[in-house]
Amino acid sequence: MKFFIDTANLNDIKEAYDLGILDGVTTNPSLMAKEGITGKENILAHYKSICDIVPGDVSAEVISTDFEGMIKEAEELVKIAPNIVVKIPMIKEGIKAIKYLSDKGIKTNCTLVFSTGQALLAAKAGATYVSPFIGRLDDISEDGLELIAKIRQIYDNYTFDTQILAASIRHTMHIIGCAEIGADVVTSPLKPILGLLKHPLTDIGLEKFLADYKKGNA
């Protein structure tokens, strides 16, 4: 399973990359705004900074909702770096844009996916990644992980190359659940990724090992 970080914060991206386990980055307009990155030139420059840190796929989201606008933005975004993936919303015009871009060999990430039907359409259009938002489903009492499992089943029934990129991750158990189901990628904020490290018995065990070493080598 690939690990992406879901943030536009350069320090968090660097910290995850330095761990040696980071395969890519996803961003969205809300995450850019959270970092105070506004204005087209600044946003494009920020994507460049992210691509300079991480060699893996970096999703950059369009803000147009019409086919022509999305294609125009996509063509600008892919000029930033070879690892840019164009993130396109799951709407009718978005499906047309994904098909057009995938026919041209441009990588896409179909975002804001909340149902199996949407995931099926994204795959048919040739999306490189499909992003089901599991945390936002859990927020409204729907089972986000169950959606990942259903999409896995559908994609495995056929020969879709589209990778399931589980998004809207809230905690470590989302990551573990995705791994159990067989999601191709998980995109998570830094905190749940670091949360995977933790176990009290590890800390207790290490403390004892170090204390015993100290006693024997005083």
Distance CA 188, CA 177 (A): 13
Q: One symbol per residue from 103 to 142: x for binding ligand E4P (CB under 6 A), - otherwise; what is it?
A: --------x-------------------x-x-xx------
Contacts to ligand E4P from residues 178-217, by CB under 6 A = 187
CB of 105 to ligand E4P, least distance (A): 22
Any contact of residue 55 with ligand E4P (CB under 6 A)? no
CB of 136 to ligand E4P, least distance (A): 5
CB of 131 to ligand E4P, least distance (A): 5
What one-character DSSP code corresponds to residue 204?
A: H
CB of 108 to ligand E4P, least distance (A): 13
Which C-beta is closer to ligand E4P: that of 132 or that of 210?
132
Closest CA to 21 of 50, 56, 60: 56
Cα angle 8, 147, 13; round to 5: 15
- C-alpha distance from residue 98 to each of 15, 59, 91 (Å): 32, 14, 10
Any contact of residue 167 with ligand E4P (CB under 6 A)? yes
Provide the H-helix boundaries in 91-130: 92-103, 116-124
Give the residue, chosen from 13, 25, 28, 32, that forms a contact with ligand E4P under the rule CB under 6 A. Answer: 28
Q: Which residues on adjacent β-strands are paired with residue 26?
A: 6, 59
Q: Which residues on adjacent β-strands are paired with residue 5?
A: 25, 188
CB 131 within 8 A of CB 94: no
CB of 206 to ligand E4P, least distance (A): 33
Options 87, 104, 150, 215, the catalytic residue: 87
Whether residue 87 lies in the annotated active site? yes
Which C-beta is closer to ligand E4P: that of 28 or that of 162?
28
CB 131 within 8 A of CB 148: no
Distance CA 63, CA 199 (A): 41
Any contact of residue 7 with ligand E4P (CB under 6 A)? no
Closest CA to 56 of 120, 112, 5, 111: 5
Which C-beta is closer to ligand E4P: that of 50 or that of 167?
167
List contacts with ligand E4P (CB under 6 A).
6, 26, 28, 111, 131, 133, 135-136, 167-168, 187
Residues serving a catalytic function are 87
